[in-house]
Amino acid sequence: MAEHQHNSLAQWQGCAPPALPSVRGAFVQIDAFSPGRDRDGLFAAIGGAGNDALWRYIPFGPCASADELADAISFLADAQNWRTHIIRAVDTGAVLGMASYMRIRPEAGSVEIGCIVFSGALQKTPAASEAMYLMARHIFDDFG
């Protein structure tokens, strides 16, 4: 039976925190959340009446207004160092949802993608898969 080879971590160095520039795929574009640019479109996609179920596993929301949503995202960026990104349709430019880099620990080389809220138009589509792929690819290719 072959023994498992373990790589030494003696030379381990932390990584720079992830910064995601705009990334475009075939179906979606991922952009860092900008309150002035994105709050109304994001609220239209995932806020308001009929979307309460989207927020079941999210630590805030549902929000009553676009401003409340933007304030919550900004608070988490400041308090928890979350980096929220907007998922936008390539063909229409419409906002379809959001996802965040969170629990960012550069010294350990770890980051989580969470606080994922997909609109009904994004759920169970190739665009949803591509959005997660683009965010994960950035972590593995650029974050280390």
- Average pLDDT rounded to a whole number, residues 105-130: 94
Mean pLDDT, the chain, whole residue set: 91
At which residue do the structure tokens 């075939």 appear? Answer: 26
In the predicted structure, residue 13 carries a pLDDT above the cut 90: no
In a domain? residue 137: yes
Q: What is the pTM of this model?
A: 0.89
pLDDT of residue 2: 59
In a domain? residue 17: no
In a domain? residue 9: no
In a domain? residue 131: yes
At which residue do the structure tokens 């805030």 appear? Answer: 60
In a domain? residue 120: yes
At which residue do the structure tokens 């381990």 appear? Answer: 12
CATH at residue 124: 3.40.630.30
Q: Which domain holds residue 133?
A: 27-143
- Average pLDDT rounded to a whole number, residues 57-68: 95
In a domain? residue 15: no
Task: Please give the full DSSP string across 64-117, using - where no structure is assigned.
Answer: SSHHHHHHHHHHHHHHH--EEEEEEETTT--EEEEEEEEEEETTTTEEEEEEEE
How many structural domains is the chain composed of? Answer: 1
DSSP 8-state code for residue 58: S
- Strands 83-89 and 95-105, by their bridges, are antiparallel
